[in-house]
Structure 1
Amino acid sequence: MTEQRREDWDPRSATVLQDQIRAYDTMRKQCPVAWSDYQQWTLFRHADLMQVLEDHKTFSNAVSVHLSVPNGMDPPEHTPYRRVIEPYFGPEPMARFEPQCREVARTLVQRLPKNEPVNVVEALSRPFALQIQCAFMGWPENLHQPLADWVQKNHQATLARDRQAMAEVAQEFDGYIRDLLNTRRQAGGQAPNDVTTSLMREQVNGKPMTDEQLISLLRNWTVGELATISASVSILVNYLAQHPALLRELKAAPDQLPLAIDEILRMDAPLISNRRVTTRDVNVGGKVISAGEKITILWASANRDEEVFGNPDDFCPQKNADKNLLYGAGVHECPGAPLARMELKVLMEELLKPLEALEMVKEHASERAMFPTGGFNVLPILFRQI
């Protein structure tokens, strides 16, 4: 059990939650390795995160007491699962999926109210994340609404650190996945030829994955995709609404979108943090952290570190690309990065085509999402179309 110690900060204070990004900027300068009862050790600097990401033996991903495939595993256990997953995000699968992704994006963009205020989160970012994930996995449309409701319940339980609620939410998701697996087994050779069916046929260490392993894998895959893609879309729309010159540049030169998207999401993180646990006593940023203590690695701060990026709000996509931790680094770098990048590029291409301008709606207040989620809960925007 961790000894009682004085808190360096309160991640849930009103001051922090009012503007998380600026609060993290301040902490990075004042106390870059900070203790709190809520997060235990929090790391704010880019260099300290790189120390963690490059030393998976000292900083373990096995934080949860529950099975977590492959997110909560370390090499060598992690390696065969990663080997199974990575081909699903290769160039050929991405090329095959892009037309379907574009159709989802185009349909949602065409349905947006024109020249009147709309909440981007409800009208675009959440529906896109949900529909695109189900399309990629081969899941039916009747799962859209249950999954949308589930995402909200999962976020609330995680924010509250309510273990019972988190367990109930996980069990609810498990039920959806078990139904999908059972339906495919009953269909036999007539089962749809999609990602879910293909995963059911994969082997790890010479054996098929158990239902528990498959469910854990699909839960981690889905939670990460739905939350971060939705947050990313709202962040991108908000940024372009406030930077009309950049919007015009990207509309004229859409080939610049991939680097621009990564850079905007560096400045305003869709995923705030991840966790690790130490396997030995270790010095991080001048502070000794004992074995067995939890660490929160704060992407939303490290990607704004002045020592690496200069002024964190300067838009410099080419200069900052190599140091950008948007998709992590090391053995746990996000395997789904090619899918996320393709989805966001396609959506922004479709959004910019008919667009003249994005305008903030001053009479309607936006509402930021709170830890552990980035982006917005409410983002009123007027889509001025040609």
Structure 2
Amino acid sequence: MAPSAHCPHADWDPRDPSVQADQIAAYDRLRDTLGVARSDMLGWSVFGHADVLRALHDPQAFSSAVSRHVAVPNGMDPPEHTRYRALIDPYFNAERVQAFEPRCAAIAQALALAMAGQDTVDLAGAYTLPFAVHVQCAFMGWPAQLHAPLADWIARHHRASLAQDRPALAALGQRFERRVAALLQERREQGAGPEQDATARLMHERVDGQPLSDAHIASIVRNWTVGEIGTIAAAVGIVAHWLAHHADLQAQLRAEPERHDEAIDEILRLHGPLVANRRISACPVQLGGRSITAGDRVVLHWTSANRDPRVFDAPGTFRWGRKPEDNLLYGAGIHVCPGAPLARMELRVALRALLAHAPQLAPLPGQPPHRAQYPAMGFDRLPLRLR
């Protein structure tokens, strides 16, 4: 990974083919050699566990207000963030997650059954992405007709992000807002109450006594949709890929379903489903021996932090009994993922259905998976043998 030619002070280029060929290995090398590195594409990238935690727990120095566009609540700082986070957290409480689990499990079962008679399959196309899209639409109360458009939107957004194509990203954002506006208008015409679905419920929420604007609702929904579909699809594929290559662990999880949650978290520590989150420095700060000035872009790399040997003994090895609080799979601090309970349930039912209907997950010789590129993780093609 040579320094970027575009910026004389850059340490690396996130779009370099050697990085995209294996993001995990590239980020590990950057963590171990530099800790904090600069690129013209991302600004400052933070790779070490301690440095990531420092930024997460200091929102005054590392602001989340990184864009001129409204971003609820991920792009907000206290006290504004606190008010909107109080509105959002109940959508993912234990009662609502438990109530949604049967619907989620039925989606996983239907998709797994559709593959059951096949010897081999591209799991990314047949299971992981459809599961994530179908579940998200069910959670939001959206029709099945949106499955294909949403999957296409996510793919286009990933390509535009990698290319740093600002006009394309702006157009995609506008397209998403128009779709949400149409869904809201449909519910207004129906006189939908908050009990109808999560989309209608957002229309009836208030912050500081005022209803949410359509722009704020679209921002919340976009955050849930982009984050949920991309990371859940990646996570299911990562877990399946790992088990296909570790037959002993696969056999253990078939015999001991009560260990699924811990196993999923540990596999996703090894190969995270989300690359990074953005911050902006609100003041001059020293981090990892580098001088960051006020207004600099800062990117926190979850995957490399979760593989830091200073925190995790034998970080590239699956181990039972690691300390859950060290795993940054769902972040930490005030911006810890509010949807973590929902995501854990979804991953559990997806794994349960897959193991129930695939007698043996195994790699296909001569057909390696294709790794996803930034800003995605996991695999966008995952050929596996099912029996």
Identical columns (%): 46
Q: Which residue of 2 aligns with 1:49?
A: 52
Q: Which residue of 2 aligns with 1:263?
A: 266
Q: 1:370 aligns with which of 360, 369, 373?
A: 373
What letter corresponds to residue 358 of structure 2 in structure 1? L
Find out whether 1:175 has 2:178 as its counterpart: yes
Q: 2:89 aligns with which of 78, 86, 90?
A: 86
1:85 Cα deviation after fit: 0.6
1:153 Cα deviation after fit: 1.1
Q: 2:254 aligns with which of 251, 254, 258?
A: 251
Q: Which residue of 2 aligns with 1:14?
A: 17
RMSD: 1.4
- CA contact 2:105–2:350 (8 Å) conserved in 1: yes
Consecutive unaligned residues in structure 2, runs of 5 or more: 1-5
Q: Which residue of 2 aligns with 1:70?
A: 73
Provide closer, same or farther for how the CA distance between residues 369 and 198 of structure 1 changes in structure 2, counting only shifts above 3 A: same
- CA contact 1:184–1:192 (8 Å) conserved in 2: no
Distance in 2 between the 1:264 and 1:75 partners? 33
Q: Which residue of 2 aligns with 1:344?
A: 347
TM-score (structure 1 length as normaliser): 0.96
Q: Which residue of 1 aligns with 2:110?
A: 107
Provide closer, same or farther for how the CA distance between residues 193 and 124 of structure 1 changes in structure 2, counting only shifts above 3 A: same
Q: Which residue of 2 aligns with 1:97?
A: 100
Q: 1:240 aligns with which of 238, 243, 247?
A: 243
- CA contact 1:129–1:226 (8 Å) conserved in 2: yes
Q: Which residue of 1 aligns with 2:362?
A: 359
- CA contact 1:114–1:382 (8 Å) conserved in 2: no
Give every structure 1 segment of 4 or more consecutive aligned residues whose post-TM-superposition deviation is greater than 3 Å. 189-192
Matched residue SS, 1:232:
helix
Distance in 2 between the 1:354 and 1:179 partners? 38
Which aligned pairs between 1:1-386 and structure 2 lie closer than 5 A? 5-189=8-192, 193-384=196-387
Distance in 2 between the 1:314 and 1:321 partners? 16
> May I ask how many residue pairs the two structures share in their alignment?
382
Measured against aligned partners, the alpha-carbon deviations of 1:351-379 in whole angstroms (never above 9, x if no partner) come to 11233311111122310001111000111
TM-score (structure 2 length as normaliser): 0.96
1:115 Cα deviation after fit: 4.5
- CA contact 1:235–1:265 (8 Å) conserved in 2: yes
- CA contact 2:113–2:357 (8 Å) conserved in 1: no
What letter corresponds to residue 362 of structure 1 in structure 2? P
Distance in 1 between the 2:194 and 2:240 partners? 38
